[in-house]
Each structure stands twice: as C-alpha cells, then as structure tokens.
Amino acid sequence: MTMLLQTVRPNIVQSIRAFRVEDLMLTAQETGQHFLYANLGNAQSKQEVLEGIAQAFLFPAHFGKNFDALYDCMTDLVHKAGPQPGFIVVLEQIPDNPRFDREAREQLLDVFRDAADYWADRKIPFRCFYSFL
C-alpha cells in the first residue's frame, strides 16, 4: 500500500478520483500517519459541514465552527500536541447545493490547502483527498 502514495505529492489537496478510502486508510496505518475521514453526505450548509468535520476529526468542544477555527485545529492545535508523522485526510461527499455553493466549497478546500502549506513548511506530509456529492 505504501506504493499508493508514490505518485502523490506530499502536501496536496486533490480529488480522490482513482483512490479508494479503504486503501488510503491502510496506507496511513502502514506509514504511521494520521487518517482523518469525514463523510459530509448529510450536510447541507456551512455550519453542518464544519460540524461534521469537527465530530469526525474529534475537535475540542470549543471549536468555533468557522473556517478560521478549522484552520487552527488542522495546524496550530495539532502542532502543539507534539511531533507529527503525517496526515491523510479524506473529505467525502462535500455538498453541492445552494446552501453550500461553489464558493463555499472552494473556501473549505482553501483551508485544507493552507494546512497543507503549513505542514509542508514543517516537512510533514499532508495529503487531502475529496469528493463532491
């Protein structure tokens, strides 16, 4: 399974396309990286998307449910917890509707792109895969 990521840059946000969630999870286990998975298929709004991610990723109760707080939880909060082995993040079925439109989806993915840059600066792999509903 470690071969799975050889063609994927270490710090990237990309469509899940040919990858299967199960294979990504096994790869994370084999490489000792964190595997963070959120299925957002039931979310309709920004608040529901953020709440779904917070619950799936076990964010603290004080999580502010906004994009800035999401960034803080994906970077600084985790960085302060100690050395990190790397991350494989899967955001499955991001909503595509009037309450969570293209702009909202891009803002969400930008948070993860910024997190990938944050971890790249620290030489820690952060790969985020996503799909739309």
Instruction: Using alpha carbons only, give the angle 96, 59, 29 rounded to the nearest 5 degrees.
Output: 85
Domains of the chain and any CATH numbers: 10-132 (3.30.370.10)
CA atoms within 13 A on the CB side of 101: 3
User: What is the pLDDT at residue 1?
Assistant: 52
| Distance of alpha carbon 111 from the chain centroid | 9
46-84 pLDDT tens trace: 999 999 999 999 998 889 889 999 999 999 878 787 889
**pTM, two decimal places:** 0.94
20-54 pLDDT tens trace: 999 999 999 999 999 999 999 999 999 999 999 99
75-115 pLDDT tens trace: 987 878 788 999 999 999 999 999 999 999 999 999 999 99
CA atoms within 13 A on the CB side of 128: 19
Q: Is the dihedral of CA 54, 28, 41, 117 positive or negative?
A: positive
